[in-house]
Amino acid sequence: MVKRINAANGALEVAEISLGCMRIADLSPQEADVHIHSALEAGIDFFDHADIYAAGKAEEVFGDVLAASPGMRDQLMIQTKCGIRNGFFDFSKEHIVNSVENSLKRLKTDYVDVLLLHRPDTLMEPEEVAEAFDQLESRGLVKHFGVSNQNPLQIELLKKNVKQPLLFNQLQLSVMVTGMIDSGINVNMTNSGSVVHDGGILEYSRLHDMTIQPWSPFQYGFFEGVFLGNEKFPELNEVINRLAAEKGVADTAIAIAWLLRHPAKMQPIVGTTNTKRLLDIAKASDITLSRQEWYEIYRAAGNVLP
Protein backbone atom coordinates (compact mmCIF):
# COMPACT_ATOMS: atom_id res chain seq x y z
CA MET A 1 0.00 0.00 0.00
CA VAL A 2 1.39 3.37 -1.03
CA LYS A 3 2.38 5.48 1.95
CA ARG A 4 1.18 9.02 2.56
CA ILE A 5 3.17 12.20 3.04
CA ASN A 6 2.36 15.56 4.56
CA ALA A 7 2.28 18.52 2.19
CA ALA A 8 2.39 22.16 3.27
CA ASN A 9 4.06 21.35 6.58
CA GLY A 10 1.28 18.99 7.56
CA ALA A 11 -1.67 21.00 6.25
CA LEU A 12 -2.52 18.37 3.65
CA GLU A 13 -1.95 14.61 3.48
CA VAL A 14 -1.45 13.00 0.07
CA ALA A 15 -0.32 9.69 -1.42
CA GLU A 16 3.43 9.80 -2.07
CA ILE A 17 2.89 8.52 -5.63
CA SER A 18 0.43 10.15 -8.02
CA LEU A 19 -1.10 8.74 -11.20
CA GLY A 20 -0.61 11.05 -14.16
CA CYS A 21 -3.60 10.90 -16.50
CA MET A 22 -2.13 12.41 -19.67
CA ARG A 23 -2.51 9.17 -21.65
CA ILE A 24 -5.67 7.84 -20.06
CA ALA A 25 -7.66 8.86 -23.15
CA ASP A 26 -5.95 5.97 -24.97
CA LEU A 27 -7.84 3.48 -22.79
CA SER A 28 -11.30 2.12 -23.39
CA PRO A 29 -13.94 3.07 -20.80
CA GLN A 30 -13.64 -0.37 -19.19
CA GLU A 31 -9.82 -0.23 -19.16
CA ALA A 32 -9.86 3.25 -17.63
CA ASP A 33 -12.27 2.08 -14.94
CA VAL A 34 -10.05 -0.88 -14.02
CA HIS A 35 -6.92 1.27 -14.05
CA ILE A 36 -8.33 3.96 -11.76
CA HIS A 37 -9.86 1.48 -9.33
CA SER A 38 -6.60 -0.51 -9.23
CA ALA A 39 -4.70 2.67 -8.39
CA LEU A 40 -7.08 3.38 -5.51
CA GLU A 41 -6.74 -0.15 -4.18
CA ALA A 42 -2.95 0.30 -4.17
CA GLY A 43 -3.27 3.53 -2.20
CA ILE A 44 -2.71 5.87 -5.15
CA ASP A 45 -5.62 8.25 -4.67
CA PHE A 46 -4.05 11.40 -6.16
CA PHE A 47 -4.70 11.91 -9.90
CA ASP A 48 -2.91 14.51 -12.01
CA HIS A 49 -4.59 16.13 -15.03
CA ALA A 50 -4.21 19.18 -17.28
CA ASP A 51 -6.70 20.91 -19.52
CA ILE A 52 -4.47 20.24 -22.55
CA TYR A 53 -4.04 16.49 -22.07
CA ALA A 54 -5.50 14.86 -25.18
CA ALA A 55 -7.23 18.22 -25.83
CA GLY A 56 -9.47 17.64 -22.80
CA LYS A 57 -10.31 14.03 -23.62
CA ALA A 58 -8.26 12.71 -20.69
CA GLU A 59 -10.42 14.64 -18.23
CA GLU A 60 -13.56 13.44 -20.00
CA VAL A 61 -12.55 9.78 -19.72
CA PHE A 62 -11.76 10.23 -16.04
CA GLY A 63 -15.05 12.05 -15.51
CA ASP A 64 -16.97 9.19 -17.07
CA VAL A 65 -15.39 6.78 -14.58
CA LEU A 66 -16.33 9.09 -11.72
CA ALA A 67 -19.90 9.41 -12.95
CA ALA A 68 -20.26 5.64 -13.17
CA SER A 69 -19.02 5.12 -9.60
CA PRO A 70 -21.15 7.05 -7.07
CA GLY A 71 -19.17 7.86 -3.95
CA MET A 72 -15.78 7.56 -5.63
CA ARG A 73 -15.18 11.32 -5.68
CA ASP A 74 -14.81 11.41 -1.91
CA GLN A 75 -12.12 8.70 -2.05
CA LEU A 76 -9.64 10.56 -4.23
CA MET A 77 -7.92 13.85 -4.97
CA ILE A 78 -7.91 15.47 -8.41
CA GLN A 79 -5.26 17.91 -9.55
CA THR A 80 -5.44 19.74 -12.86
CA LYS A 81 -3.34 22.38 -14.58
CA CYS A 82 -3.96 25.33 -16.88
CA GLY A 83 -2.03 28.02 -18.73
CA ILE A 84 -0.75 26.31 -21.88
CA ARG A 85 -2.62 27.31 -25.03
CA ASN A 86 -2.02 26.74 -28.73
CA GLY A 87 1.28 28.53 -29.30
CA PHE A 88 1.33 30.66 -26.16
CA PHE A 89 0.99 30.70 -22.38
CA ASP A 90 -1.92 32.41 -20.64
CA PHE A 91 -2.17 33.25 -16.93
CA SER A 92 -4.89 35.83 -17.45
CA LYS A 93 -7.74 35.83 -14.95
CA GLU A 94 -10.25 35.05 -17.69
CA HIS A 95 -8.37 32.05 -18.98
CA ILE A 96 -7.61 30.57 -15.55
CA VAL A 97 -11.25 30.78 -14.46
CA ASN A 98 -12.63 29.54 -17.78
CA SER A 99 -10.15 26.68 -17.87
CA VAL A 100 -11.15 25.45 -14.43
CA GLU A 101 -14.85 25.72 -15.23
CA ASN A 102 -14.35 23.66 -18.39
CA SER A 103 -12.19 21.09 -16.60
CA LEU A 104 -14.90 20.62 -13.98
CA LYS A 105 -17.46 19.94 -16.69
CA ARG A 106 -15.22 17.33 -18.31
CA LEU A 107 -14.32 15.76 -14.96
CA LYS A 108 -17.98 15.74 -13.91
CA THR A 109 -17.17 17.10 -10.46
CA ASP A 110 -17.96 20.26 -8.52
CA TYR A 111 -14.38 21.02 -7.51
CA VAL A 112 -10.75 20.05 -7.96
CA ASP A 113 -8.52 19.53 -4.96
CA VAL A 114 -5.48 21.21 -6.55
CA LEU A 115 -4.94 23.66 -9.41
CA LEU A 116 -1.44 24.23 -10.80
CA LEU A 117 -0.30 26.96 -13.18
CA HIS A 118 1.19 25.00 -16.09
CA ARG A 119 4.56 26.41 -17.29
CA PRO A 120 5.52 30.05 -16.64
CA ASP A 121 3.80 32.86 -18.54
CA THR A 122 6.29 35.72 -18.82
CA LEU A 123 3.36 38.10 -19.44
CA MET A 124 1.83 37.12 -16.11
CA GLU A 125 0.33 39.83 -13.91
CA PRO A 126 0.34 38.53 -10.31
CA GLU A 127 -2.69 40.68 -9.51
CA GLU A 128 -4.74 38.87 -12.18
CA VAL A 129 -3.69 35.46 -10.93
CA ALA A 130 -4.60 36.50 -7.39
CA GLU A 131 -8.07 37.62 -8.51
CA ALA A 132 -8.59 34.32 -10.34
CA PHE A 133 -7.47 32.25 -7.34
CA ASP A 134 -9.68 34.26 -4.97
CA GLN A 135 -12.70 33.75 -7.19
CA LEU A 136 -12.07 30.03 -7.65
CA GLU A 137 -11.56 29.54 -3.92
CA SER A 138 -14.58 31.59 -2.85
CA ARG A 139 -16.81 29.71 -5.29
CA GLY A 140 -15.57 26.39 -3.91
CA LEU A 141 -14.18 25.28 -7.28
CA VAL A 142 -10.57 24.83 -6.14
CA LYS A 143 -9.33 23.83 -2.68
CA HIS A 144 -5.56 24.20 -3.02
CA PHE A 145 -3.10 25.82 -5.42
CA GLY A 146 0.40 25.40 -6.80
CA VAL A 147 2.62 25.85 -9.83
CA SER A 148 4.47 23.79 -12.38
CA ASN A 149 7.96 24.29 -13.83
CA GLN A 150 8.60 27.53 -11.94
CA ASN A 151 11.74 28.81 -10.25
CA PRO A 152 11.96 30.48 -6.81
CA LEU A 153 11.76 34.08 -7.98
CA GLN A 154 8.74 33.36 -10.20
CA ILE A 155 7.04 31.83 -7.17
CA GLU A 156 7.98 34.80 -5.02
CA LEU A 157 6.56 37.13 -7.66
CA LEU A 158 3.25 35.27 -7.46
CA LYS A 159 3.32 35.43 -3.67
CA LYS A 160 3.45 39.22 -3.89
CA ASN A 161 -0.30 39.15 -4.55
CA VAL A 162 -1.55 35.58 -4.22
CA LYS A 163 -2.70 34.94 -0.65
CA GLN A 164 -3.30 31.19 -0.97
CA PRO A 165 -0.36 28.94 -0.04
CA LEU A 166 1.37 27.47 -3.11
CA LEU A 167 1.69 23.85 -2.06
CA PHE A 168 3.13 22.05 -5.08
CA ASN A 169 5.63 22.58 -7.89
CA GLN A 170 5.67 20.00 -10.68
CA LEU A 171 9.21 19.72 -12.08
CA GLN A 172 11.08 17.35 -14.38
CA LEU A 173 13.25 15.07 -12.27
CA SER A 174 14.48 11.50 -12.64
CA VAL A 175 17.63 9.46 -12.12
CA MET A 176 18.79 10.80 -15.49
CA VAL A 177 17.55 14.40 -15.10
CA THR A 178 19.14 15.68 -11.92
CA GLY A 179 20.08 19.32 -12.49
CA MET A 180 18.48 20.55 -9.29
CA ILE A 181 20.45 17.94 -7.34
CA ASP A 182 23.74 18.31 -9.23
CA SER A 183 24.15 22.01 -8.48
CA GLY A 184 23.76 21.36 -4.77
CA ILE A 185 26.52 18.76 -4.84
CA ASN A 186 29.00 20.61 -7.07
CA VAL A 187 29.11 23.74 -4.93
CA ASN A 188 32.10 26.10 -5.25
CA MET A 189 33.17 24.40 -8.47
CA THR A 190 33.33 25.42 -12.13
CA ASN A 191 32.25 22.19 -13.84
CA SER A 192 28.97 21.82 -15.72
CA GLY A 193 27.23 20.22 -12.75
CA SER A 194 27.81 23.35 -10.67
CA VAL A 195 25.60 25.50 -12.90
CA VAL A 196 22.40 26.50 -11.11
CA HIS A 197 19.77 26.40 -13.85
CA ASP A 198 16.67 26.73 -11.66
CA GLY A 199 17.53 29.18 -8.89
CA GLY A 200 18.03 26.53 -6.23
CA ILE A 201 14.47 25.23 -6.49
CA LEU A 202 15.21 22.06 -4.50
CA GLU A 203 16.39 23.94 -1.42
CA TYR A 204 13.74 26.63 -1.87
CA SER A 205 11.00 23.98 -1.90
CA ARG A 206 12.22 22.47 1.34
CA LEU A 207 12.52 25.88 3.01
CA HIS A 208 9.00 26.88 1.97
CA ASP A 209 7.23 23.54 2.45
CA MET A 210 6.43 23.10 -1.24
CA THR A 211 6.07 19.52 -2.41
CA ILE A 212 8.00 18.78 -5.60
CA GLN A 213 6.09 16.53 -8.00
CA PRO A 214 8.68 14.94 -10.33
CA TRP A 215 7.25 14.43 -13.83
CA SER A 216 8.58 11.95 -16.41
CA PRO A 217 10.45 10.00 -13.69
CA PHE A 218 11.59 7.32 -16.17
CA GLN A 219 12.72 9.66 -18.95
CA TYR A 220 16.13 10.96 -19.90
CA GLY A 221 16.58 14.28 -21.65
CA PHE A 222 13.48 16.17 -22.70
CA PHE A 223 11.18 13.30 -23.78
CA GLU A 224 14.08 11.51 -25.51
CA GLY A 225 13.05 8.12 -24.14
CA VAL A 226 13.15 5.93 -21.06
CA PHE A 227 16.42 4.98 -19.41
CA LEU A 228 15.22 1.68 -17.93
CA GLY A 229 16.22 -1.23 -20.14
CA ASN A 230 17.95 1.17 -22.51
CA GLU A 231 21.24 -0.10 -23.92
CA LYS A 232 22.59 3.47 -23.85
CA PHE A 233 22.86 3.21 -20.05
CA PRO A 234 24.36 -0.22 -19.27
CA GLU A 235 25.98 0.68 -15.93
CA LEU A 236 22.86 2.37 -14.60
CA ASN A 237 20.61 -0.52 -15.58
CA GLU A 238 23.05 -3.04 -14.10
CA VAL A 239 22.88 -1.29 -10.73
CA ILE A 240 19.10 -0.80 -10.82
CA ASN A 241 18.46 -4.39 -11.92
CA ARG A 242 20.75 -5.76 -9.19
CA LEU A 243 18.98 -3.74 -6.50
CA ALA A 244 15.59 -4.73 -7.92
CA ALA A 245 16.53 -8.41 -7.73
CA GLU A 246 17.86 -8.03 -4.19
CA LYS A 247 14.66 -6.35 -3.03
CA GLY A 248 12.25 -8.47 -5.06
CA VAL A 249 10.71 -5.60 -7.04
CA ALA A 250 10.66 -4.29 -10.62
CA ASP A 251 13.23 -1.85 -11.97
CA THR A 252 10.51 0.83 -12.09
CA ALA A 253 10.06 0.56 -8.32
CA ILE A 254 13.78 1.20 -7.77
CA ALA A 255 13.69 4.30 -10.02
CA ILE A 256 10.76 5.71 -8.02
CA ALA A 257 12.23 4.65 -4.67
CA TRP A 258 15.31 6.70 -5.59
CA LEU A 259 13.11 9.82 -5.77
CA LEU A 260 11.18 8.92 -2.62
CA ARG A 261 14.43 8.49 -0.67
CA HIS A 262 15.20 12.19 -0.91
CA PRO A 263 14.30 14.03 2.33
CA ALA A 264 12.40 16.66 0.33
CA LYS A 265 9.48 14.19 0.48
CA MET A 266 8.60 14.37 -3.20
CA GLN A 267 5.47 13.03 -4.87
CA PRO A 268 6.41 11.46 -8.25
CA ILE A 269 3.85 11.58 -11.05
CA VAL A 270 3.77 8.26 -12.92
CA GLY A 271 1.89 8.24 -16.20
CA THR A 272 1.66 4.57 -17.08
CA THR A 273 -1.61 3.20 -18.47
CA ASN A 274 -0.45 -0.39 -17.86
CA THR A 275 -2.13 -1.54 -14.65
CA LYS A 276 0.44 -4.25 -13.86
CA ARG A 277 3.24 -1.74 -14.34
CA LEU A 278 1.44 0.69 -12.04
CA LEU A 279 1.16 -1.92 -9.30
CA ASP A 280 4.86 -2.74 -9.72
CA ILE A 281 5.68 0.96 -9.34
CA ALA A 282 3.52 1.22 -6.22
CA LYS A 283 5.86 -1.21 -4.43
CA ALA A 284 8.45 1.59 -4.37
CA SER A 285 6.59 2.87 -1.33
CA ASP A 286 7.74 -0.21 0.61
CA ILE A 287 11.42 0.38 -0.18
CA THR A 288 13.85 2.71 1.55
CA LEU A 289 17.17 2.86 -0.25
CA SER A 290 20.25 3.25 1.91
CA ARG A 291 22.37 6.36 1.49
CA GLN A 292 25.03 4.18 -0.16
CA GLU A 293 22.50 2.67 -2.60
CA TRP A 294 21.11 6.10 -3.48
CA TYR A 295 24.55 7.45 -4.33
CA GLU A 296 25.47 4.29 -6.21
CA ILE A 297 22.52 4.85 -8.54
CA TYR A 298 23.40 8.53 -8.86
CA ARG A 299 26.98 7.70 -9.85
CA ALA A 300 25.89 4.93 -12.22
CA ALA A 301 23.83 7.54 -14.07
CA GLY A 302 27.09 9.21 -15.04
CA ASN A 303 27.56 11.65 -12.19
CA VAL A 304 31.00 12.15 -10.65
CA LEU A 305 31.13 13.18 -7.02
CA PRO A 306 33.56 16.01 -6.21
Give me the active site residues, please. Answer: 53
Backbone angles phi, psi at 153, to 5 degrees: -70, -30
Please, where are the H alpha helices in the chain?
Answer: 29-41, 57-67, 93-107, 126-138, 152-159, 179-185, 201-207, 234-247, 251-260, 275-282, 291-300
Q: Are 146 and 116 in contact (CB under 8 A)?
A: yes
Pairing, β 12-15 against β 88-89: unpaired
User: Phi and psi dihedrals of 6, rounded to 5?
Assistant: -95, 125
Q: Are the CB atoms for 83 and 45 separated by under 8 Å?
A: no
Closest CA to 20 of 148, 111, 190: 148
CA distance 187 to 33: 48
**CA-to-CA separations, 29 to 14, 20, 22, 26, 63, in angstroms, rounded:** 26, 17, 15, 9, 10
Residue type, 252: T
For residue 258, give the nearest of 302, 211, 293 by alpha carbon: 293
CA distance 281 to 134: 37
CB 102 within 8 A of CB 85: no
